[in-house]
Amino acid sequence: MAWIWAAFSMGLVGSLHCVGMCGPLMLAVPYSATQKMNILVEVFTYQLGRILVYALLGALIGWVGKGLYLAGLQSFFSVATGVILLIAVFLSFDLENFITRLPFMEKLNTLVKSRVNALWKKQGSGFHLKIGMLNGLLPCGLVYLAIAGAVTMPNVLTSTLYMTSFGLGTLPLLVLTILAGQRLSLSWRSRLQRLYPLFVAAVGLFLIVRGLEFDVPRTFDFWQLSQGDVPVCH
């Protein structure tokens, strides 16, 4: 299951982008515990909420992907998305900002931010899990890329596992960012973000290859079956 490692690698490498975009929010989350072990529990609870949302998104996306798969459009969608990403990188087009400004996304962003503000004032039990889940719904270019990959999965289970693997891939660097705190300078985060276009291009190429794989037979059995009783030399 190479696609699991592909999703994990996407999260691992792509989290360089998250450090710059989501870093300020993660660093602002209060942690009530004083002992190191308890702080780690709160940190991972926060991250668990985020990954749970990715898994739920994967399940939802799986239904869309299954529809495309049954309709025979998955290959086209994957290749087309990959080409769009490559064009966006080549033209330096801010695709993430374009998606964020879509009416539906603006409404979702406003709703999530209002919930974050309300939860921030109240806090209470389950605060870190809830704030992590809301963080998973905030507009993020990296998540959009993961969704594009998840749509190419053939069913709900594989799509859910894809998004979960992606979320787990983001875990190491984001946890390190939280634990490092203010020692992670703004200039360092800015330098990491400069690598993002290269990463987007890599994802674009992955989606193109993934799309083409749907139409390429994995063995010569296809040709033998297509010829009926005519023997095929191997």
Give the tens place of pLDDT for each residue, 139-195.
787 888 888 888 888 788 989 999 999 999 988 888 877 776 645 555 555 666 676
Span 91-148, pLDDT tens digits: 877 777 777 888 888 888 889 888 888 888 877 778 889 988 988 888 787 888 888 8
In angstroms and rounded to an integer, the radius of gyration of the C-alpha atoms of the chain is 20
Sequence-separated (6 or more) residues with CB below 8 Å from residue 163: 7, 54, 55, 57, 58, 61, 146, 147, 150
Residue 171 structure tokens: 């875990």
- Cα distances from 187 to residues 25, 94, 178, 184, in angstroms, run 17, 21, 16, 9
Residue 44 structure tokens: 């991972």
Residue 230 structure tokens: 């005519």
End-to-end Cα spacing for the chain: 28
Q: Which of 39, 36, 4, 18 is nearest to 170 (CA)?
A: 18
Residue 50 CB-density burial (10 A; 0-12 exposed, 13-18 middle, 19+ buried):
buried
Whole-model pTM over 0.85: no
Judge contact between 232 and 173, C-beta under 8 A.
no
Judge contact between 78 and 214, C-beta under 8 A.
yes
Among all chains, which residue has been given the structure tokens 């870190």? 128
Amino acid at 15: S
